């Protein structure tokens, strides 16, 4: 199988502004991938310091991508 330029189309994953309710991090993305492949973990990587300071939930997979 070969790919030519323009074969892949990506859509932006809708998220909110940084450090607001509903914001997701790269750690959530990796957590989502691992959970989707039957490797359930609570969170992959370090937590975002600004989101921790604001006490925003940042653990777990991106649920919209697992449905």
In angstroms, the CA 24 to CA 60 distance is: 10
Amino acid 15: pLDDT: 67
CA 3 to each of CA 7, 8, 9: distance values in angstroms, whole numbers, following the listed order: 6, 8, 12
Q: How many independent structural domains does the chain possess?
A: 1
Quick: pLDDT tens for 9-33: 445 556 678 888 888 888 899 999 9
Residue 48 maps to a domain: yes
53: in domain: yes
H-state helical runs in the chain = 26-36, 49-53, 63-66
Whether 39 is in a domain gets the answer yes
Is 18 a domain residue?
no
Domain residue limits at 40: 26-66
Q: pLDDT tens for residues 29-62?
A: 999 999 999 998 999 889 999 999 999 999 999 9
CA-nearest of 25, 30, 33, 31 to 56 is 25
> 28 near 16, Cβ under 8 Å?
no
């Amino acid at each position: 199988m070969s790919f030519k330029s323009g074969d892949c189309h990506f859509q932006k994953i809708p998220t909110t502004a940084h450090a607001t309710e509903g914001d997701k991090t790269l750690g959530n993305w990796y957590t989502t991938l691992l959970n989707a492949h039957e490797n359930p973990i609570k969170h992959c990587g370090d937590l975002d310091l600004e989101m921790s300071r604001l006490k925003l939930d940042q653990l777990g997979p991106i649920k919209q991508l697992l449905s």
